[in-house]
Structure 1
Amino acid sequence: MSKIAVFTNRYSALCDFFEADRFLIFERGADDWQLLNEIPFAPIPPLSAVLTRKNSEALLPLLNGCKVLAGGTLVGIPFFVFDRAGLHIFEISAITDEVFDEIFQEMQASDTAINAREAIISNARPKETGTPGIYFLDLIALQSECPEVSSKKAMADFLENTPFLELNLICRHIPPWIEDSGIYRIDVVQSGNGIVKAIVSRKC
């Protein structure tokens, strides 16, 4: 089941975090969101950075099982503490089923995008074409989508461990670690406008 913690004042009304003195824990039931628990805590006055951090961290065990923290304004050190703890933080204007449903729809969309990106990164390597032994990799497109993927991450394991005849490569430039290895033959078939199309094969 999905849970949301909402920080409120003693009247269970939305407020600035520094005015809050309780968490309302909501859980998604079969048909709607239900108030599962109300957890009081001592308000945290913004006195000093050290105390604010310490007091904010002391609240984390109260949020066990919740992935979402919602409420009024939450900034500064408390925001950093809760964000670092892995909570998804939302500023909301009302405590309603519709608001909670929107939060989880947004989270699901974000999770889908993250999973898709992770799949791209984990499968970042040349793909075999319809011709056995002939592989293709558009390094420009890959790094445009995932800049953190280096040419080595995308190709080093493939070049070392995959039997192949040719690798058709699209890139900005031939990676120096390939060009300087002395192991591969590189035939540039097209170059211009910052785009290089090359055929990489092992030297006999």
Structure 2
Amino acid sequence: MNLFQEAVTVGFVRASYRLSIYDSLYKEISEKERMYLQAYRSFESRYDSLLGLLLARQLSGACVNLVHDVKGKPVMKGSEKEISITHSSGITAAVVSPWRIGIDLEKNVEEKAGRRMLAAAGQSLLHSFPFTVLWTRTEAYAKMIGCGFKEDPALLFQEAAAPRSRWNFHTECFDKDMVLTICSEKPAFFQLKECFEDTVLQNK
């Protein structure tokens, strides 16, 4: 670790998908966020989204209102801090930072899921990183710049696969068969911290 790098905590929590927890989480969000939740078709997706918002609030250390902007990027109203949230296979993770940042967590992404995008970006990118790593780098980068896959996927993949990117990528294996990647505007030391649903609710 570089002594001049700031430590940034990445919190994660395992979802139980209990209705009682969902009801408690739901009570803590604004009417605008409740409308946003309607875009998710499944109970599990709505649960993960709620859990991510409350987890980010806990990590921020302040009672702030968390909302989504027009592009779907989560933001903290009245705060200059940046947040990013991800969820996959029953695990939700979040990070809060003074600078732009994006995070993605995936479980063994199949190549066919992004074959069309890769065809546009160039199959040679596959030789840069294992596919799931490349996918999470791309997602994390897209979240950092606040566009998601609404921008040209080819350009996103190319930036994520660049061997000497001007952005700071941190990737590590997570929970056996999952990959976690963070894309940060500045270099930092990232430390994982497991949180729990009851704790997240107590610190709401």
Same fold (TM over 0.5): no
TM bucket normalised to smaller: under 0.3
Normalised to the residue count of structure 2, the TM-score between the two structures is 0.20
Considering Cα pairs closer than 8 Å and 6+ residues apart, tell me whether 1 or 2 has the greater RCO: 2
Normalised to the residue count of structure 1, the TM-score between the two structures is 0.20
Larger radius of gyration: 1
